[in-house]
Amino acid sequence: QPSTDLEFDRVVIYTTCLRVVRTTFERCELVRKIFQNHRVKFEEKNIALNGEYGKELDERCRRVSEAPSLPVVFIDGHYLGGAEKILSMNESGELQDLLTKIERVQQPHECPSCGGFGFLPCAVCHGSKMSVFRNCFTDSFKALKCTACNENGLQRCKNCTG
């Protein structure tokens, strides 16, 4: 369960990079671009890359009695809304007022390691989600579930997520 205290003066956007439902993907892209155009720092939590983000989003939306429909934006730990709400706030200038205290991005750039996704294939299992264990008594090998990565065989990028 995330601590919303840690989100003071921060923007968190829950998105997906899956293109299965085109409108959802396009709304996520639109909201990301709006925040990039305002040149503010934001944390993107892509639920397609980490299942924990999906569980976290469900819990946070349940607390504010909102149905989770991607993208979802939180500012200062408070639920702000989805794409339609962000778009109307952006057009009215209300969003700009909310973003005055958010840290600015000086030189927008993508991480050279992960391309801005925040995740890389696991260094231990290379994305296979299995690690190989050698039994030194029988000289046989056994495949075990990798404990260094998530359910998608990914690890957080150390260059851009620390």
162 has a pLDDT exceeding 80? no
DSSP annotation of 5 reads: G
- Identify the band that residue 55 occupies on the pLDDT scale cut at 50, 70 and 90: very high
Residue-level length of the chain:
162
Mean pLDDT of all residues in 10-22:
91
CB 119 within 8 A of CB 157: yes
* SS3 (DSSP) at 143: strand
Q: Which residue has the higher pLDDT, 55 or 9?
A: 55
CB 156 within 8 A of CB 118: yes
pLDDT digits (tens, 9 = 90+) for 21-49: 899 999 999 999 999 889 898 999 999 99
15: enclosing H helix or E strand: strand 11-15
Give residue 76's region: left, alpha or beta (phi > 0; psi -120 to 50).
Answer: left
* Strands 43-46, 11-15: pairing kind: parallel
* CA–CA dist 92, 137 (Å, integer): 70
- Identify the band that residue 3 occupies on the pLDDT scale cut at 50, 70 and 90: low
CB 98 within 8 A of CB 107: no
pLDDT digits (tens, 9 = 90+) for 110-161: 778 887 778 889 988 888 887 766 667 777 777 778 888 888 889 888 887 6
Average pLDDT, the chain: 86
